[in-house]
């Protein structure tokens, strides 16, 4: 009994610590980009959706995707979620990060003053060019992609590290000549510049070559007249190259939080947009980073049953004991199948133990030397008979006890007969 109590207390203590250790955090930190980008607006929507699920999403400002990836990789940083476009990092560079899927297109927008309209692949010599803040995906990809195409030359052009909203304002007021940034169609800065007739959207030449060289890029066409069909504006189709934004998390982020983020992503990004159809996003792509195993299951079967039907904290609380019981059931299942056989053996063993004692007394009686005192033997048989009479066994085993008592009586009768003779 004492051993059972100790085991029970030990198991309860272990289970309590295991549950505390495995419970997900209620506060999750997400890196967001500067104001004026779609990223900042989307992060606010994620916070609202997750708040309804019992998770507090804290938004921490970041210069851009490059800085956000650095924070995600930093074990001392609290950031565990960010929207990261393709081309910023790889699995080799960030082994501790995984993707929850692609969410939307982020084209590289190249806007210029109309009188400085770029033709072909003419480089931006002597021009004032904003390529986004240092630490942003705009800054990194502008130098990497447009630099390779010869459009951006760090030596001849004057490069500025401005946010999308700052770039738009300075371009409209002729304080810079070209603004390049990576953002979605819905970006306030993109919409503002598209509606400004003194600003021209540059079509990317050799877009197919970009896509062939960089697997994370996609070719998009912005139709003529999509901003103003009466003019039309833009006057002709514009070819763009675009990356896809990915919902990136730390690999060790609690599975329940990952599922909640995936549900939020499905709610926010499943609607149709300029460059995608309804329900095209989110999608389980894994070009730069591997897809989280929980995301893979989400796209196949959806959110686990408990998380779908119960409050977040209650679903997680109930799921933990179930997960802990699975290995225990695997061990116990063979034992449970053998339980009837073991039970039968234990009960019969109690009766057969007395039979062994009876056999010993019987042998002692038959092989005893002449003149041996048999009264002691009868007393021992009486004691054995008393023990057999008080032996409590389940009904299926009572015939064994009755048989034992009969055999004891037979041996006792023989012993008495031997004494009288």
Count Cβ atoms below 10 Å from residue 193 Cβ, excluding itself: 23
Count Cβ atoms below 10 Å from residue 318 Cβ, excluding itself: 11
Nearest one of 373, 363, 371 to 411, comparing CA atoms: 363
Q: Phi, psi at residue 290, to the nearest 5°?
A: -70, 150
Q: At what angle do helices 312-366 and 2-22 cross, to 10 degrees?
A: 160
Helix (H) or strand (E) holding 89: none
Chain segment 309-346, per-residue pLDDT in tens:
566 555 554 555 555 555 666 666 776 777 788 888 88
| Share of residues in the chain with pLDDT > 90 (%) | 48
∠ Cα 361 364 366 (to 5°): 110
Give domain limits for the chain: 2-303, 342-420
Task: Tell me the C-alpha distance between 78 and 70, whole Å.
Answer: 12
Helix intervals (H) in 226-292:
255-269
Q: Phi, psi at residue 291, to the nearest 5°?
A: -75, 135
Is-contact 125 105, C-beta < 8 A? no
- Output the pLDDT for position 81: 97
Range with the lowest mean pLDDT among 56-65, 179-188, 367-376, 396-405?
367-376
Q: At what angle do helices 255-269 and 312-366 cross, to 10 degrees?
A: 150
Chain segment 225-275, per-residue pLDDT in tens:
999 998 899 999 999 999 999 999 999 998 889 999 999 999 999 999 999
Q: What is the DSSP letter of 246?
A: E
Confidence of residue 381 (pLDDT cuts 50, 70, 90): confident
Q: Which residues are bridge partners to 241 per DSSP?
A: 219
Tokens of 126: 């002597």
How far is the CA of 192 from the CAs of 36, 195, 229, in angstroms? 11, 5, 17
DSSP line for 269-307: H-S--SSS-TT--SB---SSSPBPHHHHHHHHH-S-HHH
Task: Tell me the C-alpha distance between 24 and 20, whole Å.
Answer: 9
Q: What is the DSSP letter of 396?
A: G
- Output the pLDDT for position 322: 52
Chain segment 143-187, per-residue pLDDT in tens:
888 777 777 767 778 899 998 899 999 999 999 999 999 999 999
Is-contact 149 176, C-beta < 8 A? no
∠ Cα 291 296 297 (to 5°): 155
Confidence of residue 9 (pLDDT cuts 50, 70, 90): very low
CATH homologous superfamily of domain 2-303?
Periplasmic binding protein-like II (3.40.190.10)
44: helix, strand or coil: helix
């Amino acid at each position: 009994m004492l051993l059972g109590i100790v085991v029970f207390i030990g198991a309860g203590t272990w289970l309590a610590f295991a549950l505390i250790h495995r419970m997900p955090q209620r506060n999750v930190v997400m890196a967001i980009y500067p104001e004026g980008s779609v990223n900042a607006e989307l992060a606010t929507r994620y916070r609202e959706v997750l708040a309804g699920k019992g998770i507090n999403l804290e938004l921490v400002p970041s210069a851009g995707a490059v800085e956000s990836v650095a924070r995600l990789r930093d074990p001392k940083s609290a950031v565990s979620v960010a929207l990261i476009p393709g081309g910023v990092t790889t699995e080799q560079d960030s082994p501790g990060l995984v993707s929850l899927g692609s969410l939307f297109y982020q084209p590289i927008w190249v806007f210029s003053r109309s009188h400085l309209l770029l033709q072909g692949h003419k480089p931006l010599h002597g021009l004032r060019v904003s390529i986004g803040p240092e630490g942003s995906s705009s800054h990194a990809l502008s130098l990497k992609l447009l630099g390779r195409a010869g459009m951006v030359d760090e030596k001849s052009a004057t490069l500025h590290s401005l946010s999308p909203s700052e770039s738009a304002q300075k371009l409209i007021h002729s304080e810079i000549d070209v603004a390049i940034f990576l953002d979605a169609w819905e970006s306030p800065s993109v919409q503002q510049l598209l509606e400004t007739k003194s600003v021209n959207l540059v079509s990317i030449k050799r877009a197919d070559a970009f896509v062939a060289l960089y697997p994370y890029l996609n070719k998009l066409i912005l139709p003529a007249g999509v901003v103003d069909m009466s003019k039309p504006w833009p006057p002709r189709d514009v070819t763009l190259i675009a990356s896809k934004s990915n919902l990136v998390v730390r690999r060790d982020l609690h599975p329940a939080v990952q599922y909640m983020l995936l549900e939020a992503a499905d709610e926010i990004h499943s609607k149709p947009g300029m460059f995608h159809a309804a329900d095209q996003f989110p999608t389980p792509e894994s070009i730069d980073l591997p897809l989280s195993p929980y995301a893979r299951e989400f796209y196949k079967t959806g959110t686990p049953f408990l998380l779908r039907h119960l409050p977040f904290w209650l679903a997680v609380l109930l799921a933990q004991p179930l997960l802990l019981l699975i290995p225990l059931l695997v061990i116990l299942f063979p034992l449970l199948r053998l339980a009837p056989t073991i039970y039968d053996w234990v009960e019969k063993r109690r009766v057969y133990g007395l039979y062994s004692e009876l056999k010993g007394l019987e042998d002692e009686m038959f092989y005893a030397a002449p003149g041996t005192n048999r009264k002691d033997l009868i007393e021992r048989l009486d004691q054995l008979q008393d023990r057999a009479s008080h032996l409590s066994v389940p009904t299926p085993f009572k015939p064994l006890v009755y048989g034992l008592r009969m055999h004891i009586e037979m041996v006792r009768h023989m012993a008495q007969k031997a004494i009288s003779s």
